[in-house]
């Protein structure tokens, strides 16, 4: 077990290093100085600015300074908004984005699993077709399209819910729905297919023969095994939800990290792009690592002591 | 012939007289007749795919879409970027079948231009992924040992990189255009394909026919090309049909956050982004058509991919 965790941990560190270095190389290779377009047409001002941001040092020194700033969790100032540091933006935006993300995951997992179980229990019945119809739609409609459709129908035409911002639970319903539908659909399809497989196995027949109630069979015996694949794809789903927050926050004017990120892209505010990309990537890579470990703990079939393995 | 009769009488109980049995001459010709038409793997897969109504619906939609992407703009008297400001936000009518947008451009014409871009990005991304994935996965799986180990470590690291973030980063640096989008999408996109190809090759390379080929002294590259790849085509095709919609989604997503095809050009993502403000004032058609076509195209590729997965799986053969 320890060896497995250690191996995963090492791979995680290398992945982190790759994304950090890649970010650095890409940012350095952008032609021209980030101050070209601004007020700083004056040579001296630009030289001073570049000195201030350490941009006049040779690349290896810049790289080391950059690594140091990441290790000490100091992403430096924003170029376009001088009184803001990237840390300020992260501190302000992250809690909101995190709330949106966590709520989305909870909604997606719970509703996806329920939908999947219902479909599997009524295999080829009306509920099955209905649930899978919803699932196929959920996978096919991109979240930003769904968000705009929801705003148009529910917020503008029917005036049931507020269109934007993040101030009360009522404001949260539409963004969470838009963001959670895709992951929910994927979880529902996966739960359905593994449930169908599990339900035909002998130990389920045995449980039925013992006279257990259908609910007990589903929740105590079948579901535990049917959920393993859901755990495996959690990493991918997390990545999807995280990138989804960029557009959802933009559309619903939610002041989270994703909104700042998209703004920084449009303004070519390189320190902010760099800082947020590294932060997002580190967050995701660490999450993937945790999902891997959780999977290892949950699935007794993964044998840790065997050397090599399959 | 006689010995057979003897054996028979020895085994049959006395109440069954020998005369009841009739010796049938061996007919070489009849033994070779095939009762049912022989089906190759591909014919059988096609036959099973035809029975899958949802997948056929998807295929039909995609064929129609491809035809319209090629000929649609010819049917329309308007140019893609032909602005007509007095006629902005015209609802769908006989002149403008899908209405007009904020600059009075014809949504019908722009939709088919958008289809060209979406299909092109999707197909190119899938094609490049397949090419790199097959080479990488094929070599890694076939060589095994240390080569495989090193190649798989690289894949594991790349696989951990957040896909869309890398794409965004690359596009910020390279600048958004059709070719840079395709490059950015495939830089890490091939990894999934390489994993699938490797898994398949690992499984198939231990079969007897590969051993037979090896014992004839066939070169590795020929074994990979002639023996291994044809037998991995099923999963590769399925993965391809699922790569296309994710690339189409990525292109629309990037256009939407301002990193895609730039605005005067039409792409479905750009059209959806342009119409964000418009729907608040009730001009639904500017959003509806790009939204419908993005969603239905992704739907079509997804159901076709699912159908192919079932059709190409030899275990599900009836």
All domains of chain A in start order, with CATH: 94-255 (1.10.3720.10)
User: Would the pLDDT of B12 be above 70?
Assistant: no
A280 touches chain B (CB under 8 A): yes
B315: which DSSP letter? G
User: Would the pLDDT of A212 be above 80?
Assistant: yes
Two tokens, residue A32 = 């021209």
Cβ atoms A272, A78 nearer than 8 A = yes
Nearest to A119 by CA among A188, A185, A180: A188
Shortest CA distance from B268: residue in chain A? A145
CA neighbours closer than 13 Å in the CB half-sphere of residue B315: 1
What's the confidence (pLDDT) of residue B264?
Answer: 67
Nearest to B124 by CA among B168, B171, B175, B184: B184
Two tokens, residue A181 = 């539908």
Smallest Cα distance from B216 to chain A, Å: 30
A·B CB contacts under 8 A: 117
Cβ atoms A241, A99 nearer than 8 A = no
Cβ atoms B169, A272 nearer than 8 A = no
Shortest CA distance from B299: residue in chain A? A140
Least confident span in A33-47, A124-138, A296-310, B137-151: A296-310
Collapsing DSSP to helix, strand or coil, B14 comes out as coil
What's the confidence (pLDDT) of residue A269?
Answer: 79
Please determine, looking at this structure, whether the domain spanning B65-316 carries the CATH number 1.10.3720.10: yes
Per the listing, tokens 């069979």 go with A217
Residue A52, phi then psi, degrees to nearest 5? -65, -40
B252 touches chain A (CB under 8 A): yes
A12 touches chain B (CB under 8 A): yes
B249 touches chain A (CB under 8 A): yes
Q: Over the stretch A161-176, which tens digit does the pLDDT of each residue have? A: 887 778 788 888 889 9
CB atoms closer than 10 angstroms to residue A71: 9
Alpha-helical regions (H) of A151-306? 169-199, 202-209, 214-216, 223-226, 228-251, 257-267, 270-298
Nearest to B102 by CA among B274, B297, B254: B274
* Rama region for B131: left / alpha / beta (φ>0; ψ in -120 to 50; rest): alpha
A154: which DSSP letter? I
What's the confidence (pLDDT) of residue B64?
Answer: 92
Q: Considering only the beta carbons, identify the residue of B161, B166, B291 that sits closest to A145.
A: B291
A23 touches chain B (CB under 8 A): yes
Cβ atoms B248, B294 nearer than 8 A = yes
B167 touches chain A (CB under 8 A): no
Q: Over the stretch B228-270, which tens digit does the pLDDT of each residue have? A: 877 888 888 888 888 888 888 888 888 888 787 776 677 888 8
A151: which DSSP letter? I
**Is B253's CB within 8 Å of A137's CB?**
no
Two tokens, residue B8 = 């028979």
A121 touches chain B (CB under 8 A): no
CB atoms closer than 10 angstroms to residue A27: 19
What's the confidence (pLDDT) of residue A35?
Answer: 62
Report the alpha-carbon distance of residue B89 to residue B99 in Å, rounded.
Answer: 7
**Is A137's CB within 8 Å of B299's CB?**
yes
Cβ atoms A258, A92 nearer than 8 A = no
Q: Considering only the beta carbons, identify the residue of B156, B170, B296 that sits closest to A11.
A: B156
DSSP string, A31-97: SS-TTTTSSTTSHHHHHHHHHHTTTTS-HHHHHHHHHHHHHTT---B-SSSTT-BHHHHHHHHHHHH
A247 touches chain B (CB under 8 A): yes
Shortest CA distance from A17: residue in chain B? B157
Smallest Cα distance from A15 to chain B, Å: 5
**A77 strand-pairing partners:** A85
**Is A26's CB within 8 Å of B169's CB?**
yes
Cβ atoms B312, B45 nearer than 8 A = yes
B294 touches chain A (CB under 8 A): yes
Cβ atoms B201, B228 nearer than 8 A = yes
Cβ atoms B303, B57 nearer than 8 A = yes
Mean pLDDT of chain B: 81
Smallest Cα distance from B225 to chain A, Å: 26
**Is B173's CB within 8 Å of A27's CB?**
yes
Report the alpha-carbon distance of residue A1 to residue A297 in Å, rounded.
Answer: 8
The interface predicted TM-score (ipTM) is 0.79
**Is A262's CB within 8 Å of B257's CB?**
yes
E strands, B7-159, where?
A: none
Two tokens, residue B299 = 């739907």
**Is B161's CB within 8 Å of A281's CB?**
yes
Confidence band for B10, pLDDT divided at 50, 70 and 90: low
Least confident span in B127-141, B269-283, B288-302: B269-283
Confidence band for A306, pLDDT divided at 50, 70 and 90: very low
**Is A18's CB within 8 Å of B157's CB?**
yes
Collapsing DSSP to helix, strand or coil, B267 comes out as coil
Shortest CA distance from B153: residue in chain A? A11
CB atoms closer than 10 angstroms to residue A209: 8
Mean pLDDT of chain A: 82
- Domain edges within chain B: 65-316
CB atoms closer than 10 angstroms to residue B135: 14
Q: Which residue has the higher pLDDT, B33 or A261?
A: A261
Collapsing DSSP to helix, strand or coil, B213 comes out as helix
Q: Over the stretch B78-118, which tens digit does the pLDDT of each residue have? A: 777 777 777 777 777 777 777 777 767 777 888 888 888 88
Residue of A129, A155, A186, A243 to mutate, testing the B interface (most B Cβ within 10 Å of its Cβ): A243
What's the confidence (pLDDT) of residue A22?
Answer: 87
Q: Over the stretch B157-204, which tens digit does the pLDDT of each residue have? A: 888 788 888 888 888 888 888 888 899 889 888 998 898 888 888 888
Report the alpha-carbon distance of residue A246 to residue A261 in Å, rounded.
Answer: 7
**A85 strand-pairing partners:** A77
CA neighbours closer than 13 Å in the CB half-sphere of residue B178: 13
């Amino acid at each position: 077990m320890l060896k497995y965790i250690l191996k995963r941990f090492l791979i995680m560190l290398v992945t982190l290093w790759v994304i950090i270095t890649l970010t650095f190389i890409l940012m350095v290779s952008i032609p021209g100085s980030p101050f070209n377009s601004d007020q700083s047409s004056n040579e001296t001002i630009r030289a001073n600015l570049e000195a201030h941001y350490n941009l006049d040092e040779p690349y290896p020194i810049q790289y080391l300074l950059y690594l140091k700033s990441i290790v000490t969790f100091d992403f430096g100032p924003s170029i376009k908004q001088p009184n803001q540091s990237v840390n300020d933006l992260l501190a302000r935006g992250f809690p909101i984005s995190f709330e949106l993300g966590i709520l989305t995951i909870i909604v997606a997992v719970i509703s996806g699993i329920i939908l999947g179980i219902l479909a599997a229990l009524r295999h080829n019945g009306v509920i099955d077709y209905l649930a899978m119809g919803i699932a196929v739609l959920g996978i096919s409609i991109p979240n930003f399209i769904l968000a705009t459709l929801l705003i148009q129908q529910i917020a503008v035409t029917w005036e049931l819910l507020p269109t934007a911002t993040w101030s009360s639970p009522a404001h949260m319903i539409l963004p969470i729905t838009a963001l959670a539908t895709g992951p929910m659909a994927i979880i529902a399809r996966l739960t359905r297919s593994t449930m169908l497989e599990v339900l035909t196995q002998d130990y389920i027949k045995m449980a039925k023969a013992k006279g257990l109630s259908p609910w007990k069979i589903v929740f105590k015996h079948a579901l535990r095994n049917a959920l393993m694949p859901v755990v495996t794809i959690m990493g991918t789903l997390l990545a999807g939800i995280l990138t989804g927050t960029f557009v959802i926050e933009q559309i619903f004017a939610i002041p989270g990290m994703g909104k700042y990120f998209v703004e920084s892209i449009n303004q070519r505010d390189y320190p902010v792009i760099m800082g947020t990309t590294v932060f997002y990537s580190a967050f995701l890579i660490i999450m993937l690592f945790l999902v891997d470990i959780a999977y290892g703990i949950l699935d007794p079939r993964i044998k840790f002591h065997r050397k090599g393995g399959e | 012939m006689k010995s057979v009769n003897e054996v028979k009488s020895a085994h049959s109980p006395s109440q069954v007289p020998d005369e009841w049995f009739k010796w049938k001459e061996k007919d070489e010709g009849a033994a070779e007749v095939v009762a049912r038409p022989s089906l190759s793997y591909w014919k059988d897969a096609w036959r099973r795919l035809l029975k899958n109504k949802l997948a056929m619906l998807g295929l039909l939609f995609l064929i129609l879409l491809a035809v319209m992407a090629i000929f649609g703009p010819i049917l329309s008297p308007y140019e893609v970027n032909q602005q007509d400001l007095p006629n902005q936000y015209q609802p769908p009518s006989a002149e403008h079948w899908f209405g007009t947008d904020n600059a009075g451009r014809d949504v019908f014409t722009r939709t088919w231009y958008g289809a060209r871009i979406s299909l092109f990005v999707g197909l190119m991304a899938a094609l490049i992924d397949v090419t790199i994935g097959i080479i990488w996965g094929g070599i890694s799986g076939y060589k095994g040992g240390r080569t495989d180990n090193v190649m798989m470590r690289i894949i594991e690291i790349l696989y951990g990189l957040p896909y869309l973030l890398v794409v965004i980063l690359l596009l910020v640096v390279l600048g958004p255009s059709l070719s840079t989008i395709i490059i950015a999408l495939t830089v890490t996109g091939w990894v999934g394909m390489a994993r699938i190809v490797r898994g398949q090759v690992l499984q198939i390379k231990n079969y007897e026919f590969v051993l037979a080929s090896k014992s004839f002294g066939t070169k590795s590259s020929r074994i990979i090309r002639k023996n291994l790849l044809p037998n991995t085509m099923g999963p590769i095709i399925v993965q391809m049909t699922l790569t296309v919609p994710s690339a189409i989604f990525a292109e629309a997503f990037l256009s939407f956050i301002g990193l895609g095809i730039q605005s005067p050009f039409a792409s479905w993502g750009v059209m959806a982004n342009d119409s964000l403000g418009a729907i608040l004032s009730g001009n639904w058609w500017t959003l509806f058509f790009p939204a419908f076509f993005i969603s239905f195209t992704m739907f079509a590729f997804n159901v076709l991919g699912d159908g192919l997965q079932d059709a190409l799986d030899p275990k599900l053969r009836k």
